[in-house]
Structure 1
Amino acid sequence: MKTRLLTGRVLSLALLGGFSAAGYGAGFQLLEQNASGLGNAYAGSAVNAENASIIYFNPAGMTYLPGLNVSGGVTAIKPSFKFRNDDRSTVPLGAVGPNGGDAGSWGVVPNAYLSWQINPQWFAGVGIGAPFGLMTEYDDNWAGRFHSRKFDIRTININPSVAYKANDQWSFGFGVNWQRIDAEYKLAQVLPVAPGVFMPGDARVKMHGDAWGWNAGVIFQPTEATRIGLSYRSKIKHSAKGDTDIDLNGTTVRSGQARADVDLPDTFVLSAMHQLNSRWTLLGDVSWTGWSSIPKLDIHSGGNINATSSLDLRFRDTWRAAIGANYRVDERWTWKVGVAIDQSPIRSAEYRPTSLPDNNRLWLSTGVQYRHGANTTIDLGYTYLHLKDTPINNDNGEPARRGLVSGEYKSSGHIIGLQVSSRF
């Protein structure tokens, strides 16, 4: 079993993507929109304006970046998922099959940002990143093949933004988001080949789409040492379209158009930072994500397939809390640490899809920042993600067509990121 992202068939044919194939926030959300915040577990994300990547987390933060600023980075993610069948799993045809082995291969999430001070009050910028993405791929004969064999989502998000500095205490920002999604989804199917005769085949769906959203934020600085930030990213309503092919023994026997609609969740973030003294800075973060915008997913296939499949997901809204600190070692080096608790949108084992063996996770993060000269910083961050053993007992409400996947996943993750930022 090969997996390059903790996320799932849950979005089956609805999310789509073209820029990223890895990420490790709860669900299928990618928090890794920079690497400079990775060492703090993204504590203080909506207020810590270290570089131009603040555009994604809170566009109001551009008012703390004089001149022209550029920032770019890459985050590499290595998830691991080991499924263990509890001997209750079933499949519609044939033997159940193996557990699938260890899931995990490296995935990459890049980012790029630019901000520009127009005058003492107005700032503008643009960011490019991938806020959602995944790829999961299993062995063809694994125990959950009638649920998922492969699911690949790639996204790109372009986020032009403006910010206004009202005075020394208040700053405001606003941005628009254009988002592109592409996806490929494969799974085994039970196919009728003659009256009363059935054989295992394959279904393959490819889809794409684009949509618009917006984000806004505010930063309040009551004292020189303290900042408080609040930011919001809107839902994005995607309508994805593409094709569905049904294969038998490697030959396409049926095909048709495919369509799925999904509302990607909105997010609120409340952040704070306080400079304790000349060496220590404290950071905190509480965020909410409206995953209940995806209670189910209806997948429509036309042509000579002419079918609708509904997935009962019952996603719940989630919370994330993070604390962190920066310690300035000397003029060039800063050490970063952070811890976060990240809640999963999956309610229970019965609603956990095979492509999304997601669970609550604990972030343990650290990193360093090196200042090269007066205007350039290089950040290197690392996070270990701990997940408790994750049960699954899912038949998608269709045991005759999908079978039952029952057992447990043992999961963990490693994230490494590099960010380079300069001011001109």
Structure 2
Amino acid sequence: MKTRILLCTGLLAASCAHASALYFYETGTEDTALAGAGQAARAQDASTIMTNPAGMTRLPDHMVTGGLQVMDGSIDYQLNNGAQKSPGDVMKTFPNASAFYSQKVTDNLYAGMGLYGNYGLGIDYGNWAGDRLIKKSTMVAMTLSPSLAYKLNDRLSIGASANVNYGYLSLTRDVNDEDHQQHDHDWAMSYRLGLLMQLTDQTRAGITWNSQADYHFNINGKARLPGGNYDLPISAQVRAPQQIMLSVVHDFTPQWSVMGDLGWQDWSQFGAPQVTVNGQHLDNRSRMKDTWHGAVGVQYRPTNQWRLNAGVAFDSSPYRSQSDVAMTLPTGDEWRFGTGAQYQITPASNIGVAVEYLHMQSSHVKSPSVFAGSYDNPHLWFASVNYSYQF
């Protein structure tokens, strides 16, 4: 599954009507240690509400899972024109947290609630040559996810979530040598359906479908740049595309388990609001293409108290060409490498830590041409701690 949404603030002028935050599946849970591998089939704690709600049927009568996470890295933008001041590293440290609760209602019916943030990124271009276009931009979003799961029989369960998403966007730029901030917020609904299958005593598979979610932010104003006036769209839209994830987990022995994912996101259907440049409307729907995700992971249990995790994942680029990307979406092919460990404190509680490194493909920005440049080897890292308690 791709890990990004386009945050369309109308910041990019001549060839792009999108700015962005990233859409992550790292939310401070054990999935981070596995680079997301097996996420739709693993169902080892209450965070399965986010990855496959049908997995609640594998959990104890009551379970709480929570996580804390920090994200940082380097996303360095250098202008082609060496006479201009480049932004440099635009990445800011970004904290995150999540909480999940699952409960058995009847022998076959389970209910749960998740609160998490997997949309969000803060970027800071600072005092650079294009600070009249953008200096800072922050998108944060939280999702409240009431969920139900039903066990059809010992080998088949279904689940569903209705996701209430709240998004907040702020944009700061230089207006007459003073920082000027605009901000807005919006609510959006999305839905998740999940299926969990116990194929054999050692193998289970899960499949999850997530619907498209749309935000609308009102960002007003004009940017006066060399070459003309750039009229930002009054209604800036963020669309997280529909996506499908298939996962498999196989327990070779009581100590060793392997898992994998195959995912798809519908980026080719992503629409673009229009930006007016000197009275001409621009639309860039053809820039995006569908994306694919693959991951493999392993769990090793050396003792009853310890569970060790490791995983690697690949996501293809949403761009048709890395030579013409959006200035505020410096992404491409992505590789993830994660590891971590869980410790069983008591029979009812466990704690875990996870770290992950994410490397993004280098990319080039063509427009606005006056600020053309490149992102070379951008990367992110995540560090998290999670805790689960059953009762």
Aligned equivalent of 1:125: 112
> Residue 11 of structure 1: which of 8, 13, 31 is its match?
8
Partners of 1:109 and 1:36 in 2: how far apart? 14
Distance in structure 2 (CA, Å) of the matches to 1:406 and 1:260 = 24
**How far 1:116 sits from its partner (Å)?**
0.4
User: What's the CA shift for 1:103?
Assistant: 3.5
Aligned length: 373
State the match for 1:312 in structure 2: 284
User: How far, CA to CA, are the matches of 1:238 and 1:361 in structure 2?
Assistant: 25
Using the TM superposition, give the Cα deviation of residue 244 of structure 1 relative to its aligned residue in structure 2, in angstroms. 2.7
Greater than 6 Å deviation, 4+ residue runs: 6-9, 199-203
Q: 1:391 aligns with which of 359, 363, 366?
A: 363
Structure 2 counterpart SS, 1:330: coil
| Map of 1:54 onto structure 2 | 48
Q: Deviations over 1:72-98 (max 9, x none)?
A: 1012111202223333x7xxxxxx522
Q: 1:205 aligned to 2:182?
A: yes
- 8 A contact 1:370–1:378 mirrored in 2: yes
Structure 2 stretches lacking a partner, 5+ long:
12-19, 225-230
8 Å CA contact retained: 1:63, 1:165 = yes
Residue 331 (structure 2) pairs with residue 358 (structure 1): yes
Q: 1:386 to 1:239 in 2, by over 3 A?
A: closer
Preserved contact between residue 32 and residue 109 of structure 1 (Cα < 8 Å): no
Offset at residue 292 of structure 1 (A): 2.5
1:146 to partner: Cα distance: 5.2
User: Deviation of residue 204 (structure 1)?
Assistant: 4.6
Q: Which of the numbers 41, 50, 63 marks the counterpart of 1:69?
A: 63
Which of 378, 385, 389 lines up with 1:411 in the alignment? 378
The normalised TM-score by structure 2 is: 0.87
Conserved 8 A contact 1:13-1:185: no
**Deviation per CA, 1:385-412, whole angstroms, max 9, x where unpaired?**
2234x1313214xx5xxx2412343312
Pair member with larger Rg:
1
Once the two structures are superposed, residues 118-150 of structure 1 have per-residue CA deviations (whole angstroms, 9 ceiling, x without a partner) of: 1110000010111311111112224x4355322
Distance in structure 1 (CA, Å) of the matches to 2:322 and 2:177: 26
Determine if contact 2:21/2:121 at 8 Å carries over to the other structure. no
Please name the residue that 2:169 is paired with: 183
Counterpart CA distance in 1 for 2:30 and 2:264 is: 22
Q: Which residue does the alignment assign to 2:29? A: 35
Aligned to 1:276: 252
* Secondary structure, counterpart of 1:39 in structure 2: helix
SS in structure 2 of the partner of residue 37 of structure 1: helix
C-alpha separation in 2, matches of 1:205 and 1:309: 23
Is the Cα–Cα contact under 8 Å of residues 160 and 177 in structure 1 kept in the other structure?
Answer: yes
- Residue type at the aligned position of 2:9: S
Classify 1:13/1:422 alpha carbon distance in 2 versus 1 (closer, same or farther; 3 Å).
Answer: farther
Cα distance in 2, alignment partners of residues 145 and 7 from structure 1: 25
Report % sequence identity: 25
Cα shift at 1:58: 0.4
SS of 1:297's equivalent in the other structure is coil
1:194 is matched with which residue? Answer: none
Alignment of 1:150 onto 2:122 = no
> SS state of the match for residue 33, structure 2?
helix
Distance 1:299 1:121, change over 3 A: farther
